[in-house]
Amino acid sequence: MAASGAGEEEQRPARLALPDFPWDSLVPYAQTARAHPGGIVDLSVGTPVDPTPAVVQQALADAADAPGYPQTYGTAELRQAVADWFARRRGVPDVDPAGVLPTIGSKELVAWLPTLLGLRPGDRVVIPPVAYPTYDVGARLAGATPVVAENFTSLGPTGGQLVWVNSPSNPTGKVLGVGHLRKVVAWARSRGAVVASDECYAELGWATDDVPSILDPRVTDGSHEGLLAVYSLSKQSSMAGYRAAFVAGDPALVQQLLEVRRHAGMIMPAPVQAAMTAALCDDDHVEAQRESYRRRRAVLLPALEAAGLRVDDSEAGLYLWTTADEDCWTTVGRLAQRGVLVAPGAFYGEAGRRHVRVALTATDERVAAAAERLRGGT
């Protein structure tokens, strides 16, 4: 038995060097916003507020009697539904159902993908300069090094073992075109790197109807080798509470992920698999949800501009990437005084420090209240 004291301390595993949870720093601004006479309008977090579609709720209820263990790989019906959805909605006709794997929400997959791929200390994960914070966290969980890169020339000859792209972007709403994605794929393949594309907002295009997937034939030249697309039904189907998502692409990579996930017990519950299958097979509710977000966007965008703010990018997705050409926390504070809570761009990297992220995920009544306040009302 080891002696107590200093020697015992030395045997403890090193603590992970994770960043502070960013949302904690927003708490005092939320308190200010709640003090507004009309109450808070919380546009800081992209949490869906609309009801989960009836077709999804019914599928969940019908599958509620589930005494046996579900399949980590997902049912054949679910994997086929994903492949059919790609062909019907994303212009990707060649997704192999063998290369589809359900995940317990997309954040879980993003956080654990470097680990599941076997990355280790010394490996590098390339992330965009303005990005979802979990890309960085996932690299750290694996002991790998997150590398922020605007372009690949700064990475040198070795580059990285995993490259994240995010289109449409959270938080900016920017959409990467076919030409850009082709360059990413060519660069990664020349170095044996995996490209993971976070495409969770793909059904919500506003300024463009062409939101290409990393698996698009125009991007891949007919091969999904080394490519993974990550998608969530939280946004298009108001299913955030279901934790319903998937990863699709290179069947060899998906099988590698599956092997580890089987051992680790990362299994989507059977009723959720059934609900997800129903959601992927029904386009009507997606169009209705899209229209709700379009309507809210049409109210918020001109109100932000009337308040002296500029909206950049925001071609797609659930957010308006907004700036007053000042430090983001100054903007957050000023809007909180009006009872409107937004997310500081600094949450998404230093390159976002002069922007704030304004979510479309509030009820019509709350969005209208925010617009009135932004225009100078009380």
Domains of the chain, with CATH numbers?
A: 21-51+285-374 (3.90.1150.10), 65-281 (3.40.640.10)
Write down the pLDDT at residue 376.
87
Write down the pLDDT at residue 377.
64
Residue pLDDT, tens place only, 266-275: 999 999 999 9
Write down the pLDDT at residue 150.
78
Residue pLDDT, tens place only, 357-367: 999 999 999 99
Write down the pLDDT at residue 378.
59
Tokens of 309: 């703010």
Band the pLDDT of 4: cuts 50, 70, 90.
Answer: very low
| Sole residue written with tokens 């005092």 | 28
Write down the pLDDT at residue 79.
98
Q: How much is the mean pLDDT over the chain? A: 93
Band the pLDDT of 232: cuts 50, 70, 90.
Answer: very high
> CA nearest 107: which of 266, 220, 250?
266
Band the pLDDT of 300: cuts 50, 70, 90.
Answer: very high
Residue 5 has pLDDT above 60, yes or no: no
Band the pLDDT of 22: cuts 50, 70, 90.
Answer: confident
Residue 220 has pLDDT above 50, yes or no: yes
Write down the pLDDT at residue 151.
76
Residue 129 has pLDDT above 80, yes or no: yes
Residue 55 has pLDDT above 50, yes or no: yes
Q: What does 154-209 look like in DSSP terms, one character per residue?
A: GGTTT--SEEEEESS-TTT-----HHHHHHHHHHHHHTT-EEEEE-TTTT-BSS-S
- The average pLDDT across 188-198 equals 95
* Cα(45)–Cα(33) distance, integer angstroms: 14
* Cα(254)–Cα(249) distance, integer angstroms: 7
* Cα(17)–Cα(122) distance, integer angstroms: 15
* Residue pair 152/188 in contact by the 8 Å Cβ criterion: no
* Residue pair 165/176 in contact by the 8 Å Cβ criterion: yes
Write down the pLDDT at residue 21.
72
Q: What does 15-54 look like in DSSP terms, one character per residue?
A: PP-PPP-GGGGGHHHHHHHHTSTT--EE-SS----SPPPH
How many C-beta atoms lie closer than 10 Å to residue 252's C-beta? Answer: 12
Write down the pLDDT at residue 8.
40
- Where does residue 282 rank: exposed (0-12), middle (13-18), buried (19+ CB within 10 A)? middle
Whether a cis peptide bond, with omega within 30° of 0, leads into 168 is: yes
* Cα(289)–Cα(203) distance, integer angstroms: 10
Query: Vertex 290, ends 227 and 273: CA angle to 5°?
Result: 55
Proportion of the chain above pLDDT 70, given as a percent = 93
Residue pLDDT, tens place only, 132-180: 999 999 999 999 999 998 777 777 666 779 999 999 999 999 999 999 9
* Residue pair 168/211 in contact by the 8 Å Cβ criterion: yes
* Residue pair 195/160 in contact by the 8 Å Cβ criterion: no
